[in-house]
Amino acid sequence: MYFDTHVHLNSEQLYENHQAFIENAHNNQVEYMVVVGYDLASSKLAVELANQNPNIYCAIGFGPNDCLNTTQQDINELEQYMSDPNVVAVGEIGLDYYWDEVGKEKQQEIFQLQIDLAKKYDKPIVIHCRDAFEDTYQMLERNGHRGILHCYSGSVEMAKRFISLGYMISLAGPVTFKNAKVPKDVAEQIDLNSLLIETDCPYLTPHPFRGKLNEPANVVYIAQEIAKLKNMEIENVARMTTFNAKKIFGIK
Ligand SMILES: [Zn+2]
């Protein structure tokens, strides 16, 4: 049984056929998933999808590339959904210095407001971090708390630092890419106790389906690659990452 910790069934590309994707996931033993928001509309849709489907949960938040005009009032509106039992995290939130549409200070301000929100409701955070590892680390160290580095693209050493703060590392499609050395190193060297798996669909389709639309059923290929790199049975990877995901999201 698999747990895809990061899907965007709320995205334009997947929403229309979301029932078919959920069915295909179940046919491939992908029983659980978390639908992740990145702005107000996608967060509301994530809550809706979680409330309509068993074993589907959601995270709500404003992503670093979608927070240019986000205000405290928007965060207050988001807060109205925080008590919903299917909202298991605040996310995706974080820092992304690869794109420069939103300034660093604005990203940090909105990230901090949402860490505060997560703390208030005692929910973990789902972090999007790209080309901003040191600043992200500093903010998490200052704040304490717990959560997930989603679609982790940093080094092994950085991963260990996040883990020492109480965070988990989630691996996505890039771990399956032939020339992706760093994610493979992370899969190999980081203990399974701290690893999660995700598709981040519709993006980052794993090998051998690159170029096609990604969907939750493909999370099996992420588990398969981790099992190969760790030289263990895929069933162990499936069981442990599902256990880890339930633990961090507080799912019984
Ligand atoms: Zn995402």
Residue written as token pair 């901003």: 132
Residues lining ion ligand 1 (Cβ < 5 A) are: 200
**CA–centroid distance, residue 7 to ligand 1 (Å):** 7
**CA–centroid distance, residue 6 to ligand 1 (Å):** 6
**CA–centroid distance, residue 199 to ligand 1 (Å):** 9
**CA–centroid distance, residue 49 to ligand 1 (Å):** 16
pLDDT of residue 100: 83
**CA–centroid distance, residue 51 to ligand 1 (Å):** 20
**CA–centroid distance, residue 88 to ligand 1 (Å):** 15
Q: Per the CATH hierarchy, to which homologous superfamily does domain 2-249 belong?
A: Metal-dependent hydrolases (3.20.20.140)
Element (DSSP H or E) covering residue 50: helix 40-52
Q: Which residues contact 15 (CB under 8 A, 6 or more apart)?
A: 9, 45
Residue written as token pair 């399974």: 192
**CA–centroid distance, residue 193 to ligand 1 (Å):** 22
Domain ranges in the chain are: 2-249
**CA–centroid distance, residue 150 to ligand 1 (Å):** 8
What is the C-alpha separation between 150 and 216, in angstroms, rounded?
15
**CA–centroid distance, residue 38 to ligand 1 (Å):** 7
Helix axes 104-120, 133-143, angle to 10 degrees: 30
pLDDT of residue 226: 98
**CA–centroid distance, residue 200 to ligand 1 (Å):** 5
Answering whether pTM is above 0.85, one says: yes
How many angstroms from the chain centroid is the CA of residue 237?
17
**CA–centroid distance, residue 161 to ligand 1 (Å):** 22
**CA–centroid distance, residue 149 to ligand 1 (Å):** 11
Q: Which long-range contacts (CB under 8 A, 24 or more apart) does 235-241 make?
A: 236/192, 237/192, 237/197, 238/1, 238/2, 238/29, 239/1, 240/192, 240/193, 240/195, 241/2, 241/3, 241/192, 241/195, 241/196, 241/197
Q: pLDDT truncated to tens, each residue of the chain (252 aa)?
A: 999 999 999 999 999 999 999 999 999 999 999 999 999 999 999 999 999 999 999 999 999 999 999 999 999 999 999 999 999 999 999 999 999 899 999 999 999 999 999 999 999 999 999 999 999 999 999 999 999 999 999 999 999 999 999 999 999 999 999 999 999 999 999 999 999 999 999 999 999 999 999 999 999 999 999 999 999 999 999 999 999 999 999 999
